[in-house]
């Protein structure tokens, strides 16, 4: 889908769309498990924008972890209606204006604004538009930090030295990968060691592990990790609490883990608590441990405040939580101005494919600095354009579009609730599982 090169965006009109509730049973193998989220099923509210060219379809996704996807699908249906009948010329001649159009329904803004379910849907629809075409970004609310003129100047400076970086892009050396494959909390100690050895053999040198169930359990797991990795073999460890602590708890808890020398603690507390993150970062600086956050940041304004408050060492933009490529680019430019690297949030099948594009853009066009990108291999067989890793680097995606799309077999099997998997006995058993928080 979408490989056709159309001569003019004036001749491409969005005539209809289809929303599909795709859910993958990741609860079966524990992928995605952490201190906050148990028994999750990686879910992709998936939208196809149909055009007047049968073989030209824009594809976009949002993301959830099971229940709740139906709400995002409803919102996708609502927001996609706003672009039916529009030509690609109308949508792409000024993507900033298009972005404002998508978030400007005053009645739907009431249940946002620009966050939560409505923002996930806007991201899904506009990711599908970007899959067809893209042009400019949106600066409302952030001009006190960065202006369009400053952005252009930074991009022009980076542009002067991009030829060598492009060479690395085509040699698949532009985006180093790190892995969380051994780090899921549902894994036994034996399984963790087994996967860790596999990833070392594959060339990985940076690893992330989930923490937050108890200090004793985390110390035991990290001790086992360091037994395998050592401290002087060039391996780096990062840890992720997935928002489970209060600010004081995060500081005290982390003081008991700093001896394992993590590069950073990811999401140590509530993602909206900018000043809380700043306090945690300040408390951990003497130990040489940084703070990373952003995967649940609601929009560019939250990132603006995180940067202004010196609350994070790493900006973890999320390709489907922020308002599509538009807002991701705005955050990437702000982060560059503040000298903070962007390391996009990943881990879920489908997200990796989007963020590999963003990381390449960041390296080649925005910062000129290599960062890294998470890799967690799961359900790749269901994707039409699955990301690939060679020598612990992402293989550069070269197919047209935003690397979004699912195989026909995946759509037949995992469309919720009528797909063959969800209709099966095991699928019905997963659906019937307790929802958590029962009285």
pLDDT digits (tens, 9 = 90+) for 386-429: 999 999 999 999 887 888 889 999 999 999 999 999 999 999 99
Average pLDDT over residues 290-308: 95
Q: Among residues 86, 119, 208, 210, which one is catalytic?
A: 210
In tens, the pLDDT along 236-293 reads: 999 999 999 999 999 999 999 999 999 999 999 999 999 999 999 999 999 999 999 9
Strands 236-240 and 262-266, bridge-based pairing: parallel
Write the Ramachandran bin of 116: left for phi over 0, alpha for psi from -120 to 50, otherwise beta: left
DSSP letter for 285, please: G
Strands across the sheet containing 43-51: 14-23, 43-51, 57-61
In tens, the pLDDT along 63-82 reads: 888 888 899 999 999 999 99
Question: How much is the pLDDT for 226?
Answer: 94
CA pseudo-torsion sign 135, 138, 139, 142: negative
Strands 14-23 and 43-51, bridge-based pairing: antiparallel
Query: Does the pLDDT at position 30 exceed 80?
Result: no
Average pLDDT over residues 175-188: 88
Question: Is 345 tagged catalytic?
Answer: yes
- Mean pLDDT rounded to a whole number for the chain: 89
Question: How much is the pLDDT for 4?
Answer: 40
Backbone angles phi, psi at 256, to 5 degrees: -90, 0
In this prediction the pTM is 0.75
Q: Which class does domain 13-136 fall in?
A: alpha beta
Q: How far apart are CA 305 and CA 422, in angstroms?
A: 42
In tens, the pLDDT along 79-102 reads: 999 999 999 889 988 888 898 899
Q: How far apart are CA 332 and CA 334, in angstroms?
A: 6
In 285-372, which ranges are continuous DSSP H helix?
300-308, 324-338, 351-361
DSSP letter for 205, please: -
Question: How much is the pLDDT for 137?
Answer: 46
Could you tell me the CATH superfamily of domain 148-406? Enolase-like C-terminal domain (3.20.20.120)
| Pair of tokens at residue 241 | 């609490």
CATH fold match for the domains 13-136 and 148-406: no
| CB-CB neighbours of 214 under 10 Å | 11
- Residue 246 CB-half CA count within 13 A: 2
Domain boundaries, the chain: 13-136, 148-406, 407-438
Q: Among residues 345, 357, 379, 413, which one is catalytic?
A: 345
Question: Is 210 tagged catalytic?
Answer: yes
Q: How far apart are CA 27 and CA 25, in angstroms?
A: 5
| CB-CB neighbours of 346 under 10 Å | 26
* Cβ atoms of 282 and 309 closer than 8 Å: no
What is the chain's length? 439
Q: How far apart are CA 439 and CA 230, in angstroms?
A: 45
């Amino acid at each position: 889908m979408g490989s056709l090169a159309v001569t003019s965006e004036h001749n491409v009109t969005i005539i209809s769309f289809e929303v599909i509730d795709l859910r993958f049973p990741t609860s079966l193998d524990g992928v995605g498990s952490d201190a906050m989220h148990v028994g999750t099923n990686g879910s992709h509210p998936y939208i196809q924008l149909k055009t007047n060219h049968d073989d030209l379809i824009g594809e976009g996704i949002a993301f959830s972890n099971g229940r709740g996807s139906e709400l995002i699908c409803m919102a996708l249906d609502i927001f996609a209606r706003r672009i039916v009948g529009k030509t690609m010329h109308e949508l792409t001649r000024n993507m900033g204006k298009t972005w404002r159009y998508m978030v400007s329904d005053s009645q739907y803004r009431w249940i946002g604004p620009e966050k939560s379910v409505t923002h996930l849907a806007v991201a899904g629809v506009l990711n599908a538009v970007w899959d067809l075409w893209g042009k400019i970004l949106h600066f409302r609310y952030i001009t006190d930090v960065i202006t369009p003129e400053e952005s252009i100047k930074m991009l022009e400076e980076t542009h002067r030295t991009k030829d060598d970086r492009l060479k690395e892009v085509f040699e698949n050396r532009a985006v180093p990968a790190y892995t969380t494959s051994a780090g899921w909390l549902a894994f036994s100690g034996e399984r963790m060691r087994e996967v860790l050895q596999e990833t070392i053999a594959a060339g990985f040198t940076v690893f992330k592990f989930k923490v937050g169930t108890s200090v004793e359990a985390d110390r035991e797991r990290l001790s086992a990790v360091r037994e395998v990795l050592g401290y002087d073999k060039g391996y780096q460890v990062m840890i992720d609490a997935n928002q489970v602590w209060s600010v004081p708890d995060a500081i005290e808890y982390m003081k008991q883990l700093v001896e394992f020398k993590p590069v950073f603690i990811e999401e140590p507390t509530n993602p909206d608590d900018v000043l809380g993150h700043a306090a945690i970062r300040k408390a951990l600086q003497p130990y040489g441990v940084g703070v990373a956050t952003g995967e649940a940041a609601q929009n560019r304004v939250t990132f603006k405040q995180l940067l202004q408050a010196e609350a994070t060492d790493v900006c973890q933009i999320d390709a489907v939580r922020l308002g599509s490529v538009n807002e991701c680019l705005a955050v990437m430019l702000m982060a560059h101005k503040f000298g903070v690297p962007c390391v996009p949030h990943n881990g879920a099948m489908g997200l990796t494919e989007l963020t590999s594009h963003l990381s390449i853009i960041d390296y080649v066009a925005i910062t000129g600095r290599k960062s890294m990108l998470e890799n967690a291999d799961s359900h790749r067989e269901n994707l039409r354009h699955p990301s690939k890793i060679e020598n612990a680097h992402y293989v550069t995606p070269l197919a047209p579009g935003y690397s979004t799309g699912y195989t026909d077999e995946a759509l037949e099997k995992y469309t919720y609730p009528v797909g063959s998997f969800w209709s099966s006995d095991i699928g019905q058993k997963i659906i019937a599982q307790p929802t958590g928080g029962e009285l």
